[in-house]
Amino acid sequence: MDSSKRVTDAKAPRKDASSAEMKRLAKFYAPDRPPRKRLRTLLDFLKHVSGSDGSSGGNIAVAVQSLLSGTSKESSNASNAGPEHAAAVADFWADANNSTLVFGVVNDCVTELETLYAPHETAFRKQRRKPLEAEDWSEVFEGLEVLLRNNTARLREGWNNNGLTMLFAKLLKRDNHAMIKKYAFRCLALYTDATRNLQQLAAMPSTSTSSFQMSRAGSIRLMSDGIEIDIDEDEDDGRGTAMLSHAGPKRKDMHLELLRESVDFSPYGGGSIMLPDKFLNEGVHVEGWMRPMPTQAEEPVDMLKFLMDLSLEREDAKLAATNRTNSSGNSERFIFWAELIMKFYMPLLYPKVCLKVKLKEEGDTLGFFHHCPGSFQRVVARWVYKLRSKDDFMEVLWSRREFSEVIMETIRQRFAYRDTELVGDAIKFYSSICTGAQYVPSGMKAQMNECSRAMISHVSQLFHPSVQLDDSKILLHCVELLELVSQRRLDDYTSTYLRKFVLSTIDNCTILRDPGNRPVLAAMLSIVLHVWMHSAVVTKASGPQIWMELTIAMRRWLVNPADAKVVGTEMINCWKRELRFASCLLMYVMDKGYSYLKVTPEGAMLLPQGGKDEKMSGNGKTLREMKQGYLQSSANFLMMTVVDVSDATVLLDRVLHLIPPPTVSALPPSMHLSLTEGMLQLVELWIDSAIGAQRSQPSELQQISPSTVLAMFGEWFLPACELEATDFQNSRCIAIVALCKLCSVRCINSITRSHLTTLARVLFKGITSPSGVVVSTVLQKSSVLFTLNLEGLNILVPAYLYAVDEIIIGNIWRRAEKSKVKSSEWNNELNAALDVVFAILELPKRFPDQDFVRWKQKIQGVCGHNELALMQDIVDEIPETLDEFHVIIGRILVRITQLPFTDVVDIKKRALWGVYCLVVMNLKPDKNGDQLVDPIHLSEWIVHLVDVCQNMDFSISMAALTILQDMSDYHEEINAFEPSLVARIVMTLAVFAQQQVEEASIEVQAAMERLGAAETAAENVLHVVGVIIPGRVVMRVLRRAILPKLQTRLAS
């Protein structure tokens, strides 16, 4: 039908328009021109100012860009055009007849395109068909879009509803070409947006099996041109009804039906999937418009994507000012499209949840019941991602429970079918909700516990035993989400649900037990502990029954061989880390701001405010500077939440008793060793941060004593100090080290007598152990205890003397005599023996009435008659000896200096100084005039020092000479009890000096004769000097120390 017959009285533009603009529009108004040329003229007028490049350059890409942008092209260009052109465009659209004329031209273009692709004869009598090309349709859809965007107000009032519906029905035939359907659908969406009516949409029947069968039986098939439709206006409600010859849908609802049915899901159908039939867009098709192949999978995806993007667009400022005066216009638009998407498409994509929330009729079997196809999942996820940044849109979705249920179902299916990208986005969304980074609508706040359970349930699908993941790193993100969920204030049901889930995951998830997924297992075990810790501080859920649930589970993982092999070691490591943090947290709260917590993956530590950690200054950062992972997140949360010492103490106690002492005793050796090492590190933490820390400000931490730490943690490592089993030997040594370190700290408050008794018992059993490793450990770590004057510890001196003399020195001496190796394997033991000797060397002077040698007498002296029978077992542990204390000490020191090893020079020099101390301490008689040490032994020790001066090792010889020089200060005492010693010292030194001088003279003479005085090499000179130096030292000793005093004595 020609447009001139439809509009006979088309008004010309306003008189004040410029002649150039009127001349450009004249071609458009000419009824005899081809419709596509007329349309091209109009588009050129709308887009370009007079005098500029008039070529429209229209193509389908332009139409696509325009439809996607949501703004009309001519309006954006008009902003840059002159005021006359802008006025002319506004005047053009202000006239309703012009809009009617534009529609007529577009309709004529479509009619022309119906015959454009009809075949015709050629010279060779073969039919030739023009192929369908996008360029043929670009201006048509561009003109249709321009018409729709500039007549929003008229469309809302019902303008040309019949004509547009008929046009869309023609363009959206089922078998039309994909390109035609795609862009016709987009124009239909724009038309629907302009005429949106929420009440009209609510009256639409739902997508169901029964309704579609009834509709199909009485449906009206819209033919291309042959049906005339009468429109009756219902003046009461303002809606027009299309009265057709059959009982069909209301005319004003037809565009909504077209919008629903044009999205063809058939490419994803088949098998047990039932999809609705299409009937409104069936009928006679234009032959040249038919598609060459069935509907492709991407076609319905693109259509749904466009609708969802359209729902999120902000309304044009011009339309908002015309139609709505408040800011609720965008929300009203989104409400309509959200209702349409939920009503038309979600019942097919997510039918199960729609049945549950009554968005779908009971008995309806249409849709993807198993799962939504992945392509549509991505489109829906993209929509949800975009609307998350729009607070008002989030409020709309969560204001209706059925909508929020559908959204949560879309997220659940992301986890169920493990699209890594979509799962990552969902985790970010949930994490943002938990941290407050994401706006939480009021409807979600009211259902937050239910939402939290949904998060847990969704995450649990990735931990199902049957799941096989391509990349297990996604589980770490799930763990971080669970960490955030556990920090929320949950109701009892949700909290129980979370606890049950994390425990069952460790028990059943096979992915975590894969050796390659150790980091994921460690993270999940940490979350297990964090769930209980956070619950304890948030809801004060510190009841024994709640913690017993975790204690029993951990015992099963640690003791059961099948679980312990995979989970046990990581469980111990996680427990040690959280126990260390709980200790730091307690000290942090007690210190009241004078320190700060530093958290690293290796563990927490407490540092003074403004202090620096030299060991980690290059790697460690403060908590705020570190990247927030599940460990830092938990630490930060607990630091902000726990403010009372009582709460921190309860938390530490609960974490500590997750592995109670009975469970510790049942651990296999390797795990027992790991736990004991953790207790050693914990003891060192309390020593460095509290007991032994030097602070400028008074602190409650300074009141903590070693007994405090033993009372808290002693049950976990003290029993290991007395284990005799060979498999637990290493654990025993570590436990003894922890006990000795703790008891050797100097602090304000002393150790209680009960703990000193425990210490003495542990040390005695250790020093008398048949294990050389245990004895060596006790010697190395406990020697310092004898310098602290701890009550009752002197009773152990006989046992230590026996161990050092017989076990350590005796065994090493005998082995050294038989060994041909010149290097020692017992350097640590030798140093430990010297430490013990120096620690107890002065005890007889300080306590002259005590016997430090005879063990039996020592025990009998401190025990009553009733206790002596109980001590009988340990009386025989130390054999009786007739030697005195100083004799044993001297024998130990001399033997060390006589060892044949070449790599114990420093140890030998320490032993020489020990001999010197032993001599000078016993030169003078006691108060009664008695000599504590037999002069024979003193003489032997002095002679030994003199003999060592001639040692082959230069440094040892020099050390002996230096000792003799210092001993010259005691010349009178030596001469008093044995005058012959002085003469022997002088003669030995003189002979030694003479030998050195003679050797030096021979070396010098030989060098002079061999090379000549002028050619003496530097290295020969150095060699000669090396020989002469000892002789000079001897002469210096004689000259400065011994000879002057000897001369004085002889003169007197």
pTM, 2 dp:
0.79
Instruction: Report if residue 196 sits inside a domain.
Output: no
Task: Name the amino acid, one letter, at 916.
Answer: Y
Q: Which two tokens stand for residue 570?
A: 């990581």
Q: What is the DSSP string of 68-109?
A: HHTS-HHHHHHTTS-HHHHHHHHHHHH-HHHHHHHHHHHHHH
- Contact indicator for 41, 58 with CB cutoff of 8 Å: no
Beta bridge partners of 273: 270
Q: Which of 229-238, 858-867, 936-945 has the lowest mean pLDDT?
A: 229-238
Return the half-sphere exposure (C-beta side, CA atoms, 13 A cut-off) of residue 529: 32
Model confidence at 615, pLDDT cuts 50, 70, 90, reads very low
Model confidence at 618, pLDDT cuts 50, 70, 90, reads very low
pLDDT for 821 equals 67
Which of 720, 751, 782 represents a domain boundary (last residue)? 751
- Cα angle at 585 between 580 and 587, to 5 degrees? 95
Over its C-alpha atoms, the chain yields an Rg (Å, rounded) of: 49
Q: Are residues 724 and 810 in the same domain?
A: no
More confident residue, 1026 or 331: 331
More confident residue, 796 or 49: 796
Distance CA 750, CA 737 (A): 19
Q: Are residues 817 and 732 in the same domain?
A: no
| φ/ψ of residue 998, rounded to 5 | -65, -45
Q: Are residues 1028 and 912 in the same domain?
A: no
Q: Which of 68-77, 410-419, 539-548 has the lowest mean pLDDT?
A: 68-77
Instruction: Report if residue 597 sits inside a domain.
Output: no
Q: Average pLDDT, whole number, for the chain?
A: 80
Distance CA 233, CA 229 (A): 13
Q: Are residues 917 and 782 in the same domain?
A: yes
Distance CA 839, CA 857 (A): 22
pLDDT for 861 equals 61
Model confidence at 407, pLDDT cuts 50, 70, 90, reads very high
More confident residue, 695 or 833: 833
Distance CA 299, CA 182 (A): 7
Q: Which of 953, 944, 852 is nearest to 907 (CA)?
A: 953
- Is the pLDDT at 884 greater than 50, yes or no? yes
Which of 716, 751, 786 represents a domain boundary (last residue)? 751
Return the half-sphere exposure (C-beta side, CA atoms, 13 A cut-off) of residue 456: 27
Instruction: Report if residue 614 sits inside a domain.
Output: no
pLDDT for 212 equals 47
More confident residue, 979 or 931: 979
Average pLDDT over residues 243-256: 55
Number of Cβ atoms within 10 Å of the Cβ of 56: 20
Model confidence at 208, pLDDT cuts 50, 70, 90, reads low
pLDDT digits (tens, 9 = 90+) for 562-596: 889 889 999 999 999 999 999 999 999 988 777 88
pLDDT for 69 equals 43
Distance CA 638, CA 531 (A): 12
Q: Are residues 885 and 974 in the same domain?
A: no
pLDDT digits (tens, 9 = 90+) for 958-1017: 898 888 888 888 888 888 778 888 888 888 778 777 777 787 788 778 877 777 644 544
- Contact indicator for 605, 685 with CB cutoff of 8 Å: yes
pLDDT digits (tens, 9 = 90+) for 151-174: 999 999 889 899 999 999 889 888
Distance CA 830, CA 704 (A): 35
SS3 904: coil
- Is the pLDDT at 624 greater than 70, yes or no? no
Q: Are residues 736 and 822 in the same domain?
A: no
Instruction: Report if residue 158 sits inside a domain.
Output: no
Instruction: Report if residue 285 sits inside a domain.
Output: no
- Is the pLDDT at 772 greater than 60, yes or no? yes
Model confidence at 251, pLDDT cuts 50, 70, 90, reads low
Q: Are residues 727 and 778 in the same domain?
A: no
Question: Pseudo-torsion of CA 344, 349, 352, 353, nearest 10°?
Answer: -70
pLDDT for 238 equals 38
Average pLDDT over residues 419-447: 93
Average pLDDT over residues 634-641: 91
Surface-to-core class of residue 228, CB atoms within 10 Å of its CB (0-12 exposed, 13-18 middle, 19+ buried): exposed
In the chain, what is the straight-line distance between the N-terminal and C-terminal CA atoms, in Å? 153
- Is the pLDDT at 59 greater than 50, yes or no? no
Q: Which of 194, 192, 187 is nearest to 167 (CA)?
A: 187
Q: Which of 239-248, 523-532, 716-725, 852-861 has the lowest mean pLDDT?
A: 239-248
Helix axes 420-435, 448-460, angle to 10 degrees: 150
Surface-to-core class of residue 122, CB atoms within 10 Å of its CB (0-12 exposed, 13-18 middle, 19+ buried): exposed
Most confident of the following: 143-152, 260-269, 714-723, 750-759: 714-723
More confident residue, 869 or 465: 465
More confident residue, 1028 or 529: 529
Residue that has been written with the tokens 């049942």 in this structure: 666
Q: Are residues 1010 and 894 in the same domain?
A: no
- Is the pLDDT at 742 greater than 80, yes or no? yes
Instruction: Report if residue 197 sits inside a domain.
Output: no
- Contact indicator for 557, 563 with CB cutoff of 8 Å: yes
pLDDT for 966 equals 86
Distance CA 105, CA 28 (A): 9
Q: Are residues 48 and 10 in the same domain?
A: yes
DSSP 8-state symbol, 1013? S
Average pLDDT over residues 397-415: 94
- Is the pLDDT at 1049 greater than 50, yes or no? no
Q: Which of 405, 418, 373, 634 is nearest to 526 (CA)?
A: 634
More confident residue, 317 or 922: 922
pLDDT digits (tens, 9 = 90+) for 24-36: 788 888 888 888 8
Question: Pseudo-torsion of CA 701, 706, 709, 712, nearest 10°?
Answer: -120
Distance CA 314, CA 397 (A): 17
pLDDT for 341 equals 95
pLDDT digits (tens, 9 = 90+) for 329-362: 578 899 999 999 999 999 999 999 999 999 888 8
Average pLDDT over residues 736-761: 91
Q: Are residues 700 and 782 in the same domain?
A: no
Q: Which of 212, 219, 200 is nearest to 161 (CA)?
A: 200
Return the half-sphere exposure (C-beta side, CA atoms, 13 A cut-off) of residue 447: 16
DSSP E strands, 626-783: none
Task: Name the amino acid, one letter, at 848.
Answer: P
Q: What is the DSSP string of 402-414?
A: HHHHHHHHHHHHH
pLDDT digits (tens, 9 = 90+) for 676-700: 999 999 999 999 888 877 766 667 8
pLDDT for 863 equals 60
Find the domain containing 127 and state its range. Answer: 1-150
CB under 8 A, 24+ apart: contacts of 35-38: 35/3, 35/105, 35/106, 35/108, 35/109, 35/111, 35/112, 36/109, 36/112, 36/139, 36/140, 38/3, 38/105
Residue 242's H or E segment, with its range, is strand 239-243
Q: Which of 73-77, 326-330, 620-624, 738-742 has the lowest mean pLDDT?
A: 620-624
- Is the pLDDT at 122 greater than 80, yes or no? no
Residues belonging to the chain: 1052
- Contact indicator for 943, 984 with CB cutoff of 8 Å: yes
Q: Which of 572, 480, 565, 564 is nearest to 530 (CA)?
A: 480
pLDDT for 616 equals 39
SS3 686: helix
Q: Are residues 62 and 104 in the same domain?
A: yes
pLDDT for 912 equals 93
Q: Which of 819, 751, 812 is nearest to 785 (CA)?
A: 751
pLDDT above 70 coverage of the chain, percent: 77
Alpha carbon 270 to chain centroid, angstroms = 44
Distance CA 564, CA 478 (A): 24
Distance CA 914, CA 893 (A): 7
Q: Are residues 717 and 790 in the same domain?
A: no
Q: What is the DSSP string of 35-49?
A: HHHHHHHHHHHHHS-
Q: 3-state SS of the chain: helix, strand, coil percent to 5? A: 65, 5, 30
pLDDT digits (tens, 9 = 90+) for 216-227: 444 444 433 434
- Contact indicator for 367, 349 with CB cutoff of 8 Å: yes
pLDDT for 460 equals 92
- Is the pLDDT at 598 greater than 90, yes or no? no
Most confident of the following: 360-369, 443-452, 893-902: 443-452
Which of 122, 150, 178 represents a domain boundary (last residue)? 150
Instruction: Report if residue 191 sits inside a domain.
Output: no
- Contact indicator for 626, 516 with CB cutoff of 8 Å: no
pLDDT for 271 equals 82
Structural domain count, the chain: 4
pLDDT digits (tens, 9 = 90+) for 956-973: 888 988 888 888 888 888
Average pLDDT over residues 302-307: 94
Instruction: Report if residue 125 sits inside a domain.
Output: yes
